[in-house]
A and B are shown apart, each in its own frame.
Chain A
């Protein structure tokens, strides 16, 4: 498939935004149970959710660049019963609204206590809104992943690993950003968030490696024989029916040389996993916001490469019809 930068930025930006929100909310939940220190509502929660919201908005703007007719985008919420893309279109704004509401509650310090358990801990409104946001964040990971995983003839994508990878990459980058943010603004959260960021990165390495191994062993179900319905061991295309490009030759081929393809693969394996892990460990030990931010940015650039490779690796069966001019 041809990697579209609009979709690459959309998926990586909203993934990190969701992860950042989940990290902030996890900190809040732990604080309620006195496991972690309570944070400043304006300086930490409100500002943090603003950053998450900015990432989500940037992703949304990027997604519009993918459309041929962006002015009709509102129509895409119509078919949520059958289309994962339509579901994503509904869940993304709902999640953005929830993040905004959660941040605003903290900013305005309007946080009525809803109920408390025998006076030990209380559940306030932002806790409930945050729980809704958590559900929506995971639903959004599911929708984003399923957009790709539900197309069965794109065999490289049609696996639960796709959803798992999207979720784990989003969590890893979001928690890494949260760690850097907590180091500069928060109190006593760096070890907790940094630990989870490292954990998510390591698990993501396992699941992404699993999908790379799976894809390397894939056997295409469609062959030229099934494509044109002629049973012969030697079939060769002589003409594709036109001499210059068409939508078919632009949309479904990545067009990169095998060397570039391999380079991007090793680039993302390097930039998403070992380099940020080293930078994050050093940053947590030295309590350095600069190092932690560098870890996040390195991983983000790596994720752009990962997403490029994810698209480029998928081999669409229609390519069987376009092998020779």
Chain B
């Protein structure tokens, strides 16, 4: 069974907010109608976003690390927002696992937003219905677009390629390989929601060097003491001979 999802690589995300703006741009002009921007030029502007990039600091100065953390609907395999919906407006698609809201059925009771542990559903202040990331369902199947653009707007926009898109249930897919080989993990596994979106952790390349690897040994046999061990200050073979 197909389960489309995003895999977000925290190792490469630079927090540029390009995914946030391209998401807003695509979805505000999409089939679901504009995403509200209330009071945009006033004192307290507020609006609907399907995707946010947040910033966290790990550790204590000077040993700190900045983690930019994009956050959108995780399209859970067991979404808690779906069974609580009284109208059936909140649903998970059988064919590709995308969690969607039916705009014509939603009554705006906000119950699904209480049931979601991640806070990724927002009530649109203008339409008064629940809105959320659609994984650009109106884009990924659009055959009028060139094939390499049939991806969510955020994935297309990411300049560092921190966002991968694909079927996480297909073991051969790029996203499955990334999760498998680069330590992909899920958010808040304690609630049993089985998020389809995964995150790749910060990774560092380290090698371990032992002290004896730093000392030049002309004759490895010395180590086994088959020959008398010369003094460490004695000239080495390179210093006494020249080629």
Contact = CB atoms under 8 A, between A and B. Distances in A.
Given A221-B190, A246-B46, A154 B114 contact: yes
Contact of B49 (A150, A237, A246): A246
Contact of A79 (B54, B86, B190): B86
Given A68-B128, A76-B87, A318-B117, A153 B108 contact: no
A245 B42 CA distance: 13
B71 A78 contact: no
B110 interface: yes
B110 A245 contact: no
A79 B85 contact: yes
B239 interface: no
Contact of B113 (A72, A241, A247): A247
A317 interface: yes
Interface string A211-242: 00000000001101011111010111111111
B20 interface: yes
Interface residues of B, number: 60
A149 to B, nearest CB: 12
A82 B87 CA distance: 10
Contacts of A151: 80, 84, 114-115
A232 B58 contact: yes
A296 B116 CA distance: 37
Residue from the set A79, A151, A236, A252 with the largest chain B CB neighbour count within 10 Å: A79
Interface residues of A, number: 56
Interface string B210-229: 00000000000000000000
A235 B44 CA distance: 29
A67 interface: yes
19 contacts: A67-B108, A67-B109, A69-B128, A72-B105, A77-B86, A79-B87, A83-B86, A85-B109, A151-B115, A152-B80, A152-B191, A221-B191, A226-B187, A230-B201, A237-B56, A239-B54, A317-B188, A318-B117, A318-B118
